[in-house]
Amino acid sequence: MILRHFFLFSLLLLLLSPAWIVAQEHPQCSLCGMDLNKYTHVRYTVTTVSGQQITTCGVQCGLLLQLNLGADFKSAIATDLLYHTTMPAEKAWYVYRSKIITDMSPGFIAFKSQDHANRFAKGFGGKVLTLQQSIDAVKGGFK
């Protein structure tokens, strides 16, 4: 009898485990749905005029979100790839179309210093851009 109860209890746990695992959600990029826990080194956070903070997996989704918000956009924070620290997006330097794709292709990677961006681009290809130049690349269809 005890063995039967143990077996039924074990079977119940086994059947409910997948539902428990699926029920545990991860934070997602507000644009593409990718798991933000996998992209902590390149996150991009946009703040709206109303103060809402929206986090994306990286610069590319962040720039697209920024453009989609239009007049509701207030500011953005980028994450430096090398040091995993944040900075105002307008102060960052971006490497565009490098051989290294961190989150999305063709890809933008943020750096705190122009020197670091230049060195990265020299080693892994890509073009060093300002925030405005990056926005223009997105508006131009990523050309």
pLDDT digits (tens, 9 = 90+) for 24-39: 577 899 888 889 888 8
Q: What is the pLDDT of residues 122-142, one digit of tens each?
A: 999 999 999 999 999 999 888
Q: Which amino acid is at 135?
A: I
Which residues 6+ apart lie within 8 Å of 140 measured at CB?
A: none
Does residue 3 form part of some domain? Answer: no
Range(s) of the domain holding residue 37: 26-139
Is residue 13 predicted with pLDDT exceeding 50? Answer: no
Count of domains for the chain: 1
pLDDT band at 20 (very low <50, low <70, confident <90, very high): very low
Confidence of residue 2 (pLDDT cuts 50, 70, 90): low
State the pLDDT at residue 4.
52
pLDDT greater at residue 106 or residue 133: 133
Q: Is residue 50 a part of any domain in this protein?
A: yes
Segment 96-105 shows an average pLDDT of 88
In sign, the C-alpha dihedral spanning 27, 32, 38, 39 is: negative
Report pLDDT for 23. Answer: 45
In a domain, 18, yes or no: no
Residue 78 counted as domain residue: yes
Residue 19, domain member (yes or no):
no
The answer as to whether 20 is a domain residue is no
Considering the domain boundaries, does residue 9 fall inside one? Answer: no
pLDDT tens, position by position, 51-78:
999 999 999 999 999 999 999 999 999 9
In a domain, 15, yes or no: no
pTM above 0.85, yes or no: no
